[in-house]
Structure 1
Amino acid sequence: MPPPNEYFNVPLRRVAIGHRDEFQQPGAVKAALAEFLSTLIFVFAGSGSGIAYNKLTHDGPSSAPGLISAAIAHGFALFVAVSVAANISGGHVNPAVTFGLFVGGNISLVRGILYIIAQLLGSTAACALLLFTTGGLEAPGFSVSGVSVWSGLVFEIVMTFGLVYTVYATAVDPNKGEVGILAPIAIGFIVGANILAGGPFTGASMNPAVSFGPALVGWSWAHQWVYWAGPLIGAGLAGIVYEVFFISHTHDPVPADF
């Protein structure tokens, strides 16, 4: 096994593989716990708003007011979730974000896997809690509607590209300056805006954890591959584009977080 934090050169930057001992490091465990709790907070509030809106109106998020409600709830919830974890884990709250940062050499593969496991568990826990606290109402699942599956895939790629590009520009770029203060707000805003754009067609997941939790708890896996392939492709492309064209490589990458 390579020593901790050993890097291998790739065309765009140096990618960190890491070491299996990272799973046992207190800092890594603390960061994973932060990702678990932040993802739980985000999914509980975001998916919970969908359950609440449907209970009050009986027309669900497919209506215009429901779509706006979902965009606001998810934007606000993500702003908080990113903010509360930023100083501990970087506030990824999304396997696609973690993957996009790995592609750019900003987190090791081992640490990234730990984050993704924590994010999936956080989403699943949130959906299970919603099922229990609402008396059996399931968190809204994701499926492609009104367009082809391939169009839905492209929707998820483009929306996630915009999200991860925003993460790079406001949180990762060493030259971000004072705009870094606005990173959680900008990230929440782009997610809310993308929900308004893609919500009626794919549900605008942009986050494999967000679609995985409801699918597992409700045991409904329709089009689930779209919500993994689309966000991961979009995130990887965003990481490559920003690293190649915009980031000045004047310092070594930080393998743990932003």
Structure 2
Amino acid sequence: MSEIKLWAFWRAVLAECLGLIILVFTGLSAAIGSRNNTFPDHELKMALAFGLATTTLSQCIGHVSGAHMNPAITLGLLATCQISVLRAFFYMVAQMLGAVAGSAIVYGVRPESIDSLGVNKLNGITPCQGFGFEFLLTLQLVLCVLTVTDKRRKVGQYAPLAYGLSVTVGHLAGIGYTGCGINPARSLGPALIQLSFDDHWVYWAGPLSAGVVAALLYNYLLAPREELFSEQTRALLCCGWEEETEPLLGEVKDVE
């Protein structure tokens, strides 16, 4: 509980909220702003909007919060004891609030002739198939983030670009089938504003389970660490495991 007393902790939480506001505002504006939603121009526009916004925001807030901007990434790090339960909880709450706020802004400034708000919906596939798409697309995203931010690889300044490209790839592959959620907070925002929750569980179950699987897969199979699980568990219950892990896209220092 000591980290909750630090101003740096609350700056990080605020950064996650602000990041989702801008990300969702940018992505949804691109999704509903096309005059003629023709394939492939519309899908490419959305993919680039979400991907480039992710890259930009990672540079802006990576050194403040680690630039998770996705509950699936936060949950994955929690599952492998790389952040504390407290930080994960407040990050997820901030991400959801930011996504709702960003969606509300788009809803308020959109032209009256546009009824859509970019709510993710299944397109010609079953919920189980949608779950599969969301799971695999989020799996590659979380694996990418964990890989490029592993300080043993020293990727450094290229991590935000890789993060953004992974988001772009996910959208190019999944927009035509699920709308490409790969981020429960992004899916929640417009769905809550428009009260449209058809098959909404797909956009939570798929990404969140993929986040956990990706983190466990990377940390215990693809690139295992030497730390004992007991040490990680202790760190999880205290203030987060920090010896071999840096914040996602920048160094976060807790100072009073």
Can you give the 5+ residue segments of structure 2 that lack an aligned partner in the other structure?
233-240, 249-256
Q: What residue number does 1:169 align with?
A: 147
Quote the residue 1:39 is aligned against: 20
Partner of 1:12: none
Partner of 2:201 in structure 1?
A: 225
Match of 1:147 in 2: 125
Secondary structure, counterpart of 2:191 in structure 1: helix
Counterpart pick for 2:60 among 59, 70, 84 = 84
Secondary structure of the residue aligned to 2:65 is coil
Distance 1:210 1:199, change over 3 A: same
Does the 8 Å contact 1:142/1:202 carry over to 2? yes
2:135 alignment partner AA: I
* 2:72 is aligned with 1:96: yes
Structure possessing the higher relative contact order (Cα contacts under 8 Å, 6 or more residues apart): 2
Cα distance, 1:228 vs. partner?
0.6
CA separation of 1:135 and 1:24: change in aligned 2, threshold 3 A: farther
Q: How far 1:135 moved relative to its partner?
A: 4.0
Matches for 1:68-79 after TM superposition, within 5 Å:
68-79=44-55
Residue 46 of structure 1 and its aligned partner are, at CA, apart by 0.8
SS at match of 1:106: coil
**Residue 210 of structure 2: aligned partner:** 234
Alignment RMSD (CA, Å):
1.9
After superposition, the C-alpha distances for 1:28-87 in whole angstroms (9 at most, x for unaligned) are 21110000011111111111111111xx21x36xx2211111111111011112221110
1:204-233 deviation digits (Å, cap 9, x = unpaired):
110000000001111111111111100011
Instruction: Report the counterpart of residue 252 of structure 2 in structure 1.
Output: none
Q: Output one character per residue of 1:72-120: Cα deviation in whole Å (capped at 9) or x when no partner.
A: 1111011112221110000000011100111121111111010011000
Pairing of 1:195-234 with structure 2 (within 5 A): 195-234=171-210
Aligned-pair distance for 1:249?
3.3
Query: Contact 1:31–1:89 at 8 Å: present in 2 too?
Result: yes
- In 1, are the aligned partners of 2:27 and 2:50 still within 8 Å (CA)? yes
Matching of residues 12-31 of structure 1 within 5 Å:
19=1, 22-31=3-12
TM-score (ref. length: structure 2): 0.85
Percent identical residues: 32
Structure 1 residues 225 and 256, CA gap change in structure 2 (3 angstroms): farther
Residues 208 and 34 of structure 1: is their aligned pair in 2 closer, same or farther, counting only changes over 3 Å? same
TM-score by length of 1: 0.85
Stretches of structure 1 that go unaligned for 5 or more consecutive residues are 1-18
Aligned partner of 2:204: which letter?
W
Q: Which amino acid aligns with 2:25?
A: F
Residues in 2 aligned to 1:169 and 1:256: alpha-carbon distance in whole angstroms: 12
The 1-side partners of 2:196 and 2:5 are apart by 34
Shift of 1:23: 4.1
SS of the residue 1:141 aligns to: coil
Say if 2:13 and 2:65, in contact at 8 Å, map to a contact too: yes
Superposed CA offset, 1:176-226 (max 9, x none): 21x232111111111111111111111111000000000111111111111
**Alignment-derived partner of residue 238 in structure 2:** none
Question: Counterpart in 2 of 1:248?
Answer: 225
Q: Conserved in 2, the CA contact under 8 Å of 1:81 and 1:93?
A: no
Measure the CA separation in 2 of the matches of 1:166 and 1:210: 19
State the AA in 2 paired with 1:184: P
The number of residues matched between the two structures is 232
Preserved CA contact (<8 Å) 2:72 2:184: yes
Q: Provide the C-alpha distance between the structure 2 equivalents of 1:208 and 1:237, rounded to a whole number of angstroms.
A: 16
CA contact (8 A) 1:144 1:203 kept: yes
Give the secondary structure class of the aligned counterpart of 2:64: coil
